[in-house]
């Protein structure tokens, strides 16, 4: 299994992950494939979320009424306001329109600090972990508070996940004249307890393994047998910020806390 994780430093976090995966996929404790379900948060767990999430940048790119500072604050507080405003911006447009606009944005937008595309700012060690889970016959789902249909645009090429494996927040979709059209009405957000509720609604399963980085992921990690919390503590290579609530929960629940500074040999999936 170690060969799947070349961007992980040897240490307690890597040993904990491999130990758990060996336990559930080999020997007397081996679980059947249908029970091997993994759920990952997106922003801050798989991709960079600072100084604003990629969805907040997409909203700004659409000429929304909100300014950069207010959009940034909305993104930092969970992004619900970003989703609501995007709902207004794209209300009445088809899902195909939304997909094409999102695809064009992701093809040309660059991060203000790192100067590379947003898909290039995925965390290489986390992509390796997802690949290892796939090799071990896990069904890997993304449970994100971000826009489901926006994330689906980059899901397969970046994460190796089919579109149906993305469970996220979105507006209500209507069928009008044979076309699927977006409304401005949000459906219940995929955040907090909503993450595992929506995973169950869509798949009839709960996660065996879950990974997150913020308070909105606590319920999802508690539903799993084993959890990973990514700690952002590398100001030089990424950013340094702690979510004290999930770190406190990790100490109680004995989840694996991964230090970006200590445990990642390489941070980004691509170089600039």
Q: Note the pLDDT tens digit of each residue in 164-184.
A: 999 999 999 999 999 999 999
Q: How many CB atoms lie within 10 A of CB 98?
A: 23
Continuous H helices in 53-212: 54-61, 68-76, 80-89, 95-108, 124-135, 148-154, 194-203
pLDDT digits (tens, 9 = 90+) for 80-116: 889 999 999 999 999 999 999 999 999 999 999 999 9
Q: What are the sequence ranges of the domains in the chain?
A: 2-263
The reported pLDDT for the residue numbered 174 is: 98
Q: How many CB atoms lie within 10 A of CB 252?
A: 8
pLDDT digits (tens, 9 = 90+) for 226-235: 999 999 999 9
Q: Which residues of the chain have pLDDT under 50?
A: 65, 75, 77, 272
**DSSP tag of 2:** G
Q: Residue 257 in contact with residue 250, Cβ under 8 Å? A: yes
pLDDT > 70 in the chain, percent = 94
Q: Does domain 2-263 have CATH number 3.40.50.1000?
A: yes
What mean pLDDT is reported for the chain?
A: 93
Strand partners, 110: 117
Q: What is the pTM of this model?
A: 0.94
Q: Residue 190 in contact with residue 80, Cβ under 8 Å? A: no
The reported pLDDT for the residue numbered 117 is: 94
106 vs 152: CA distance, rounded Å:
12
The two most distant CA atoms of the chain are separated, in Å, by 58
């Amino acid at each position: 299994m170690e060969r799947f994780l070349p961007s992980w430093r040897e240490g307690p976090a890597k040993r904990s992950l491999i130990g758990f995966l060996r336990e559930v996929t080999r020997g007397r404790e081996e679980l059947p494939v249908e029970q091997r379900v993994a759920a990952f948060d997106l922003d801050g767990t798989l991709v960079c979320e600072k100084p604003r999430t990629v969805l907040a940048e997409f909203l700004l790119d659409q000429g929304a009424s909100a300014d950069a500072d207010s959009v940034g604050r909305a993104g930092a507080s969970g992004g619900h306001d970003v989703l609501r405003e995007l709902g207004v911006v794209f209300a009445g447009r088809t899902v195909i329109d939304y997909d094409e606009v999102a695809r064009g944005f992701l093809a040309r937008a660059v991060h203000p600090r790192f100067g590379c595309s947003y898909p290039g700012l995925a965390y290489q060690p986390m992509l390796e972990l997802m690949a290892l889970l796939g090799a071990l016959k896990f069904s890997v789902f993304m449970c994100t508070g971000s826009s489901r249909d926006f994330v689906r645009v980059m899901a397969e090429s970046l994460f190796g996940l089919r579109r149906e494996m993305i469970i996220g927040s979105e507006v209500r979709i209507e069928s009008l004249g044979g076309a699927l059209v977006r409304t401005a009405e949000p459906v219940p957000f995929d955040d907090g307890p909503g993450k595992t509720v929506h995973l169950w609604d869509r798949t009839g399963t709960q996660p065996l393994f879950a990974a997150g980085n913020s308070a909105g992921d606590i319920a999802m990690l508690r539903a799993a047998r084993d959890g990973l919390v990514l700690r952002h503590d590398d100001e030089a290579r990424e950013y340094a910020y702690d979510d004290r609530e999930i770190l406190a929960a990790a100490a109680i629940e004995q989840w694996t806390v991964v230090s970006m500074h200590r445990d990642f040999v390489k941070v980004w999936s691509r170089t600039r």
